[in-house]
Amino acid sequence: MTVLVTGGAGYIGSHAVLRLLRDGQRVVVIDNLFRGHRGAIARLMSIAQGRLTFIPGDVGDSALVARQIAEHRVHTVMHFAAMAYVGESVNQPLRYYRNNTAASLGLLEAIQQSWTDAERAGRPEGWTGVQKLVFSSTCASYGEPAKQNIPIAETCPQSPVNPYGWSKLFTERMLRDFADQARRDRRSFAWAALRYFNVAGSDPSGLIGEHHEPETHLIPVCLQVALGQREHLSIHGTDYPTPDGTCIRDYVHVLDLVDAHVAVLAALKPGEERIYNLGIGKGMSVRQIIDAVKRVTGRDFKVVHGPRRPGDPPELYADPRKIATELSWSAKITSPDEMVAHAWKWFQANPRGYVD
């Protein structure tokens, strides 16, 4: 059987594809390349040994997706395709609801069609359509939790404060309703939503890595300053009620994140719904990340102190104990220096990302 990875040309999606290929899986990637990279696909193709198919297209095109699911006998889906800039979502909310929520609706329609297609085809090679889906959700769906809810557990009330968070939460709601319908129709379908904050690092091989345009993530921005591609780094607020005055956030290495997706896929049983928060169980401050970058790169760089950004809580990080208890998953890479070192290897070798 084959795994469909939506958004597989993006940062996290490409790392998921790499892991699946290393595990011997056949993979189909659908990505419209709006913010994904054809260069990532080319590098993955170079090690795929014919087990990777790339389809340039929109996940919201249910007819296209349904054709690929049927042609490649897709059994499971990892759904990463999404736009993920919080500020942009505030300025262009409809774009986020179209690209994140409505496109997910198209994907679910294609999955529903796969059950009919499998029956009409006589269930060739035992294929019964898509049976499992793991959704790349977000801890932004929790909004700004009260201090007593930090670290954030899965039971924390979900109350997003931006369209990005809402677009993901609406997709979770659709998945739940879709699965309920499938259960009533006696279809075998299971799903999971994995919620996390900041993803960091890259594959240590250096084959693929992180390339965003524009880049807003703290570690890559620091590395760009270290490379001389930016004049300075701005800290947004140094007077928060935290040990060093800067915001504290959760960082999880992309390899650990992908490992969690694989573990959840393996654990899902027919009809199940699983919700997990992913993280390392503690937060890291902006200053801690900056210090780690300076240590790893051996380069000093200019840091400018600026005012707080509206709506930035002092401290946010996930409580990953549920997935640790149920699936024995925990992050293996918890050192900021190791996360930075993997990212630095990629940035040094590919200072312009996937741009030749």
Catalytic site residues? 164
**What is the largest distance, in Å, between two alpha-carbon atoms of the chain?**
65
Tell me the angle at which helices 11-22 and 38-48 cross, rounded to the nearest 10 degrees: 0
CA distance 136 to 257: 10
Distance of CA 203 to the CA centre of its chain: 15
CA distance 29 to 26: 10
CA distance 330 to 277: 11
CA distance 87 to 163: 9
For the chain, what's the residue count?
356
The CA-based dihedral angle spanning residues 139, 146, 161, 15, taken in that order and rounded to the nearest 10 degrees: -10
Provide DSSP, 268-306.
--TT-EEEEE-S-SS-EEHHHHHHHHHHHH-----EEEE
CA distance 341 to 338: 5
